[in-house]
């Protein structure tokens, strides 16, 4: 592209080839005041440069072999997930308030910093906190449990407090530079849906909400794929009136999240500090369950 377009893109926050590759043609067209066709040309060129225009299943398989796995702190949960939280994918943690979603998010902010041989990804974490529930002092406690230096652990977690859904979307749009600059190996959005649910009330605002969540999640998924990292999002449950009996809770966010999350884990409370996690509608994981505990160590296996 010419210097004028490049300048305009830079001014709109597109500083890397990756950021252009993951943007939609409309976003690029708006940012650089160019036609959608021209924007499409530029984004497909960017994808070519990054070799993300696959043509054969063989090439896809090669990319899949780059998949890495992140330990959660609980071996039982790791094996439920097929060996840990996988990169190039979105893991959705679903459950009612107090079930431990945020505790899992905190724990993996520590495990991601572990070396590969200990189940980590030897990298840093990016935590998008929409509910103001991230607690650095909790990280200190968890760090100790993993024999990690708590100051170093805190330095390696970037926290973005998203104040509303637009802010949340914007943060993800500006993530590329951070990922490149820092050694980000994990992205967390806790919670994915709360702002959207609070702001888009009523039936008439539903299409707009779904459209925004759709492009937000698409972007997160493309980031997971391009940078070969896991993205973990949390989701609430809503009481479902259309069930007669039994489990009447279902994940919020409708079909959009269901389609774009690669793996969905439903968590429910059990005795004392234990929790039951269940895989729901995964493309390749069996529908099984496991049990884990929340403790001062973060999350861990049950002891007896
Ligand atoms: P969610 O994000 O799903 O709403 P949280 O992740 O905040 O839920 O989990 C809250 C649960 O974690 C509570 O049951 C609480 O007792 C437990 N918890 C929080 N901190 C600690 C800690 N330091 N030690 C043990 N349990 C804790
Ligand atoms: Mg929470």
- The ranges of the chain with pLDDT < 50 are none
Q: Which of 103, 106, 110, 139 to mutate to test the pocket of ligand 1 (most atoms within 8 A of CB)?
A: 103
Distance, CA of 253 to CA of 197 (rounded, Å)? 8
Domain limits, the chain? 3-53, 63-300
**Would you tell me which CATH number, out of the four given (1.20.120.1200, 3.40.50.300, 3.20.20.60, 1.10.150.20), belongs to the domain 3-53?**
1.10.150.20
Are 209 and 167 in contact by the 8 Å Cβ rule? The answer is no
Neighbours of 65 (CB within 10 A): 7
CATH number of 63-300: 3.40.50.300
* Cα of 246 from ligand 2 centre, angstroms: 25
Helix (H, G, I), strand (E, B) or coil at 4: helix
Q: What Cα–Cα distance (Å) separates residue 243 from each residue in 116, 193, 202, 247?
A: 44, 23, 22, 8
Model pLDDT for residues 266-299, shown as the tens digit of each residue: 999 999 999 999 998 787 788 899 999 999 999 9
Query: Which of ligand 1's atoms lies nearest the C-alpha of 190?
Result: 2
pLDDT on residue 243: 55
93 torsion bin: left (phi>0), alpha (psi -120 to 50), beta (else): beta
Name beta bridge partners: 280: 264
Per-residue burial over 3-29, b if 16 or more Cβ lie within 10 Å, else e, is eebeebbeebebebbbbbbbbbbebbb
Does the fold of domain 63-300 match that of domain 3-53? no
The tokens describing 7, both together, are 């300048």
Q: What Cα–Cα distance (Å) separates residue 206 from each residue in 201, 209, 253, 266?
A: 7, 5, 10, 24
pLDDT on residue 1: 87
Ligand nearest to the Cα of 189, by number: 2
Distance, CA of 212 to CA of 169 (rounded, Å)? 8
Q: Kindly report the pTM of this predicted structure.
A: 0.87
pLDDT on residue 206: 86
Q: What Cα–Cα distance (Å) separates residue 274 from each residue in 69, 161, 233, 241, 260?
A: 24, 29, 21, 28, 29
Beta strands at 249-251 and 89-94: parallel, antiparallel or unpaired: unpaired
Q: Which of 72, 294, 295 to mutate to test the pocket of ligand 1 (most atoms within 8 A of CB)?
A: 294
Query: Which of ligand 1's atoms lies nearest the C-alpha of 295?
Result: 25
pLDDT on residue 153: 98
Among 173, 258, 161, which residue's Cα sits nearest to residue 219?
173
Ligand nearest to the Cα of 294, by number: 1
């Amino acid at each position: 592209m010419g210097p004028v377009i490049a300048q305009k893109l830079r001014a709109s926050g597109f500083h890397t080839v990756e950021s252009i590759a993951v943007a939609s043609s409309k976003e690029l067209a708006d940012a650089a005041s160019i036609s959608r066709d021209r924007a499409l040309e530029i984004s497909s060129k960017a994808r070519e440069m990054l070799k993300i225009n696959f043509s054969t299943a063989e090439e896809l398989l090669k990319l899949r072999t780059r998949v890495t796995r992140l330990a959660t702190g609980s071996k039982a949960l790791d094996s439920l997930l097929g060996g840990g939280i996988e990169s190039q994918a979105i893991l959705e943690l679903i459950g009612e308030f107090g079930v431990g979603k945020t505790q899992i998010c905190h724990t993996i902010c520590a495990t991601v910093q572990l070396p590969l041989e200990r189940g980590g990804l030897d990298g840093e974490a990016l935590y998008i906190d929409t509910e103001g529930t991230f607690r650095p002092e909790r990280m200190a406690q968890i760090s100790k449990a993993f024999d990690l230096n708590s100051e170093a652990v805190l330095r390696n977690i970037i926290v973005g407090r998203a104040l509303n859904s637009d802010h949340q979307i914007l943060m993800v749009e500006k993530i590329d530079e951070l990922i490149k600059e820092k050694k980000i190996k994990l992205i967390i959005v806790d919670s994915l849906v709360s702002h959207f649910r609070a702001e888009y009330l009523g039936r008439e605002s539903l299409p707009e909400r779904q459209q925004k969540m759709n492009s937000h999640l698409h972007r997160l998924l493309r980031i997971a794929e391009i940078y070969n990292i896991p993205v973990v999002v949390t989701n609430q449950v809503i009481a479902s009136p259309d069930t007669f009996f039994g489990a009447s809770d279902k994940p919020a966010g409708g079909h959009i999240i269901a389609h774009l999350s690669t793996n969905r884990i439903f968590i429910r409370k059990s005795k004392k500090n234990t929790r039951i996690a269940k895989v729901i509608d995964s493309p390749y994981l069996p529908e099984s369950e496991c049990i884990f505990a929340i403790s001062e160590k973060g999350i861990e296996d049950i002891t007896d």
